[in-house]
A = this chain, B = another copy of it.
């Protein structure tokens, strides 16, 4: 059991996305912060669902989306996350296993149901997310396979899951396990609201040298460093994390690693349909390059290519063959 079974093990929310297109007026009417992510309870979820147009259900979850991309790119992955023993839980489990990812966390009996994220997509392709965490917030530390984590090259964690107590404890333990085994820990800051709540925790993790690869977007970089200026934000973090990756939407992305700095432009997209998962798939493309020993610039480019695929359709799981797409675009 001690040979490295996985290149990447991720811990994240096990969520089914409920995706519907809507008007800007509806966003305003429902008082949702456009482009943001809001945690909601069961009653709010019902209320918002009632106000939502016809939808499609597509498996989601930030880290799970990243793993799905990694797996499509030939990286051996395992996912740890909590679903309930219900139909949406079966859907989530099916979809993640169907892309070749090991997922062994036992489904949780009883209430609450499997997590869902109500995603309202406006005509500009922007997504406004409302997450009912459901069973996801009860992921116990006992769900961790410490041997596998100790043997995997990278432990990948999503900041979103820092909010509920049990998964936070599980993630702290996983970080310890990975670091004790000399493995790398990758972390995505997920959203400015998470940083608002847990920024001190995250800064402590960074200062303690527990994060090897940090993913942030421009807003999150500002929130975690307190620096409004992009370059000042980079400067504040670059010596604290061995690899820093910052995405900037249509302005592309920047990465710093081992004294090197690389930047890449955003990949052109015919039509931005739904930006859900753009950051998740950027992380997938980048990490695929990273574990395969590609250059910093190529890894960034791979992130940009994967992100461009995701925003050209509804849902945060790839519809095109990402490996073929990479081969075609990277030459």
Interface residues of A (CB under 8 A from B): 20-21, 49-50, 52-59, 68, 86-88, 91, 94-96, 98-99, 113, 315, 317, 319
Contacts and interface: CB of A to CB of B under 8 A. Distances in A.
B53 A98 contact: yes
A59 B53 CA distance: 12
B98 A317 contact: no
Contacts of A98: 20, 52-55
Given A56-B57, A68-B54, A87-B87, A94 B317 contact: no
Closest 10 A/B residue pairs (Cβ): A57-B57, A87-B87, A54-B95, A54-B98, A56-B58, A53-B98, A56-B56, A87-B88, A54-B99, A54-B317
Contacts of A50: 94
Q: Chain copies in the assembly?
A: 2
Contact of A91 (B57, B99, B319): B57
A55 B315 CA distance: 11
Interface centre among A52, A87, A319 (most CB of B within 10 A): A87
Nearest to A52: B98
29 contacts: A20-B98, A21-B319, A49-B94, A50-B94, A52-B94, A52-B98, A53-B99, A54-B59, A54-B68, A54-B94, A54-B95, A54-B96, A54-B98, A54-B99, A54-B317, A55-B91, A55-B94, A55-B95, A56-B56, A56-B57, A56-B58, A56-B315, A57-B57, A57-B58, A86-B86, A86-B87, A87-B87, A87-B88, A87-B113
A59 B57 CA distance: 9
Contacts of A53: 98-99
Nearest to A50: B94
Given A53-B98, A87-B88, 13 more contacts: A49-B94, A50-B94, A52-B94, A54-B94, A54-B317, A55-B94, A55-B95, A55-B98, A56-B56, A56-B58, A57-B57, A57-B58, A57-B91
Nearest to A116: B87
Nearest to A68: B54
A70 to B, nearest CB: 14
A55 B94 CA distance: 8
Contacts of A94: 49-50, 52, 54-55
A33 B252 CA distance: 46
Nearest to A51: B98
